[in-house]
Amino acid sequence: MNKRYQKILVLYLISTLVPYIFINKNKDISLTKRWLPSSLIGYGIFAYGLKALTKMKKAA
């Protein structure tokens, strides 16, 4: 995986985890059951879009 995408992954996970922790006041243990899969799917969509936009920019 490209280092750029690794940095984006870390920033994306932090940016989704922090609001989840503040909203989840009752310390629900099912963090990995809901947050992690949805975050990884969201990152996948984001990374694919970033890659597509980069290709379009290079083609123009």
Residue 57's pLDDT band, with cuts at 50, 70 and 90, is: confident
Listed in sequence order, the residues at least 6 apart from 38 whose beta carbon sits closer than 8 Å to its beta carbon are none
Q: Which residue has the higher pLDDT, 26 or 50?
A: 50
Q: Which residue has the higher pLDDT, 7 or 55?
A: 55
Q: How far apart are CA 56 and CA 54, in angstroms?
A: 5
With b for 16 or more beta-carbon neighbours within 10 A and e for fewer, the 19-52 pattern comes to eeeeeeeeeeeeeeeebeeebeeebeeebeeeee
Any idea what the Cα angle at residue 11 is, between residues 46 and 35, rounded to 5°? Answer: 70
| pLDDT, tens digit, 9 for 90 and up, residues 7-45 | 888 888 888 887 777 777 676 667 667 777 888 888 888
At residue 27, the pLDDT reads 67
